[in-house]
Structure formats: structure tokens, C-alpha cells
Amino acid sequence: MQVIAFATPTRPEWRWRIVDYAGETVEESTSVFPTIAAAVGAGSAHLLKLDTVDRSVRVNPYRRTSHLRTR
């Protein structure tokens, strides 16, 4: 799993998000942080507390697109 920090134009404060290797959000912070480093640090500490194993399956970005074409 990975910890990312993000901010949006409507909420410019930094928050952390824990994402699995399939790209799905596992958990997101409700508290805000002044810097990226503070957000990632708090998210990493939270990830250690979760003590979970990521068993997600990564989506294949190169899958065939034949199902999108009409025959």
C-alpha cells in the first residue's frame, strides 16, 4: 500500500490517503496538515497502525480493447 498527500482547489490544506496497489482508496484523513511532509508522515504512521496486508490485484493497463470495437 502507498500513502499519498493531496490537496484540492476548494480545500488547499494537505491530507493523506492510503491507496492499495489496485488504486482503490483504503482510508483517508479527516485532519489537515500544513505541508506535504507532515501529511505523508502522519499517513505513514497510520498505515503502520493498520497492520494490514495488501492482497489487491493490480488492474492490467494493457488489456485488450476488442470488446470496445463493433463487429
User: Would you say residue 62 lies in a domain?
Assistant: no
Tell me, what's the pLDDT at 56? 82
**Is the model's pLDDT at 4 over the cut of 80?**
yes
- Total domains in the chain come to 1
Identify whether 49 is part of a domain.
Answer: yes
Residue 71, pLDDT > 70, answer no
* 68 falls within a domain: no
Residue 34 lies in a domain: yes
Domain of residue 18 covers 2-55
Identify whether 31 is part of a domain.
yes
Asked, for residue 64, whether it belongs to a domain, the answer is no
Task: Annotate 32-56 with DSSP letters as a single string.
Answer: -BSSHHHHHHHHHHHHHHH------
Query: What pLDDT, in 10s, does the model give residues 10-67?
Result: 989 999 999 998 888 999 999 999 999 999 999 999 999 988 888 887 777 776 766 6
Single pTM value for the model: 0.74
